[in-house]
């Protein structure tokens, strides 16, 4: 519908939801803890691989 302020929506169904208790809310799953040692090894492997690729590129 066109109004002086612009277009506005019509015929919208509004659904009322009542949650009386926090316990009724769905639980949010915790993120799995990442192994920091594995992440550290992956970072070192990435850096060494990157350095190796740069050395190969500079040789050519």
**Taking the model in full, what pTM does it have?**
0.36
Q: How crowded is residue 49: how many other Cβ atoms within 10 Å of its Cβ?
A: 10
| Cβ within 8 Å of residue 29, ≥6 positions away | none
Q: Which residues contact residue 16 at a Cβ distance below 8 angstroms, ignoring those fewer than 6 apart?
A: none
Tell me, what's the pLDDT at 15?
66
Reduced 3-state DSSP string for 36-60: HHHHHHHHHHHHHHHHHHHHHHHHC
Where do the domains of the chain lie? 5-59
14-59 per-position pLDDT tens digit? 666 666 666 777 778 877 766 666 677 788 888 899 999 999 999 8
């Amino acid at each position: 519908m066109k109004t002086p302020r612009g277009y506005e929506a019509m015929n919208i169904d509004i659904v009322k939801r009542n949650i009386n208790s926090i316990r009724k809310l769905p639980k949010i799953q915790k993120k799995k803890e990442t192994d920091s040692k594995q992440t550290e090894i992956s970072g070192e492997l990435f850096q060494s691989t990157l350095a190796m690729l740069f050395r190969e590129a500079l040789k050519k």
